[in-house]
Structure 1
């Protein structure tokens, strides 16, 4: 029975991703973000449960990637689609304000480019499953981290609006640049430390604990604005830790 527990947790990740996509489709991005975050938590604990119960399997590995493809692949691509679609509509009619509660209306082909994130996620997850170099670290930003980065954009607009934030985020060239950059970073030859703990001891986990501490401080002080900074911090700490393994 215990061998099914990690897979059940993985399926909860997938379930959360499916619910998130429904909320993205009806422009309730804040609710979508909540379910994606819950899915990422399940993604963190399924591997932890598999190691704790010593029931790691090839099935679990494949199932984990399939779940991540939805929660951390389709969902962020769909969010970028929605952002580009809203900005494009706003540019066509400057008297219309950005609204995240209306039904979906497609205004041009441009928003579909947001799904480049989904394509990059699929390629990254496929490589991860066959890459023996990523057993104890990651090469390229993990899809859940990239998903948090993409979801932080609408959350900043909704909960921390400002003229500066709107002028940056509500710019289609910025959004297209973020789309390409995120797809690139997920597949770049940058070695990053794994965020999943094999044990809770301080020795061997110094970088992880430091990173978590800085994340907590950043989120407490800056809230959602801290998320893009956390991604940058993640890359910097990894480069400092492994300067010759990029």
Structure 2
């Protein structure tokens, strides 16, 4: 029975991801953000609970991946999809597009490339489950990082009318979709957020990133998340962590 306690926490992650999708499709972006915030905490907590109870199972690992696929794979794809539809329709951001209108359905094909993020997230999660090199750092961008970027764009649209107009442009959304789809399955090593002790040695990039992220949050608040992810990617490209060798 103890093994089902962390599984229940994982299911809460899945529930919050599903609820976020409903909110996104209804253009209720702020509630969607809070559901995703809760999903992230449940995703973190299930591992803590499993270690505290000293339980582990293959069933739990598979369930965790399925929940992550929804919360951190389908959710960002839905965000891009809805933002592309909003940018293509003349309806204001406060009103949902009328999907019974043939013109709106026609524009749905215009937004279809957003779904590639879900496909590449699935490839990413399958790769992560089998790749023994990712025990300390990541190879490619993790699905939660991809989701933070998409959520950041959503929050800009919800809270900043001026910047939101620019975010809804295809010149921003299409490159974002392509870049995240590539980074999810790339072979670029990316540092994790696990500290190697609390000293500077071995944690230099993590501390630099944390300092820049805090400054961006102070300056930009809810608009900071896409820029924070951008800094994370650039730091890893300029100062990549040492990646583990692939298994023989």
TM normalised by structure 1 equals: 0.84
Q: What is the CA deviation profile of residues 16-60 of structure 1, one whole-angstrom value per residue up to 9, with x for unaligned ones?
A: 001111111212122112211210121122223333443233222
The answer on 1:24 being equivalent to 2:24 is yes
CA RMSD of aligned residues (A): 2.5
Kept in 2, the 8 Å contact 1:39–1:71? The answer is: yes
Kept in 2, the 8 Å contact 1:202–1:209? The answer is: no
Q: Determine the structure 2 residue equivalent to 1:189.
A: 187
- CA distance 1:116–1:195, change in 2 (3 Å): same
Q: Tell me how far apart the structure 2 counterparts of residues 52 and 169 of structure 1 sit (CA, whole Å).
A: 42
Segments of 5+ residues of structure 2 without an aligned counterpart are: 100-104
Task: For 1:159-178, list aligned pairs within 5 A.
Answer: 159-162=159-162, 165-178=163-176
Q: Determine the structure 1 residue equivalent to 2:14.
A: 14
Segments of 5+ residues of structure 1 without an aligned counterpart are: 91-95
Q: Determine the structure 2 residue equivalent to 1:202.
A: 198
Q: Which moved more, 1:51-60 or 1:139-148?
A: 51-60
Kept in 2, the 8 Å contact 1:48–1:196? The answer is: no
1:221 offset after TM fit, Å?
Answer: 2.2
1:63 offset after TM fit, Å?
Answer: 1.2
Q: What is the CA deviation profile of residues 108-166 of structure 1, one whole-angstrom value per residue up to 9, with x for unaligned ones?
A: 2111211111111111111111111112211111111111101111211221222xx24
Kept in 2, the 8 Å contact 1:9–1:46? The answer is: yes
Q: Which moved more, 1:3-12 or 1:233-242?
A: 233-242
Q: Secondary structure at the match of 2:33?
A: helix
1:83 offset after TM fit, Å?
Answer: 0.9
The answer on 1:84 being equivalent to 2:78 is no
- CA distance 1:112–1:220, change in 2 (3 Å): same
- CA distance 1:5–1:241, change in 2 (3 Å): farther
The answer on 1:227 being equivalent to 2:221 is no
Q: Determine the structure 2 residue equivalent to 1:216.
A: 214
Q: Determine the structure 2 residue equivalent to 1:119.
A: 119
Q: Tell me how far apart the structure 1 counterparts of residues 231 and 131 of structure 2 sit (CA, whole Å).
A: 25
Q: Tell me how far apart the structure 2 counterparts of residues 134 and 28 of structure 1 sit (CA, whole Å).
A: 35
Kept in 1, the 8 Å contact 2:137–2:243? The answer is: no
Task: For 1:92-103, list aligned pairs within 5 A.
Answer: 96=91, 98-102=92-96
Q: Secondary structure at the match of 1:141?
A: coil
Q: Secondary structure at the match of 2:161?
A: coil
1:67 offset after TM fit, Å?
Answer: 0.4
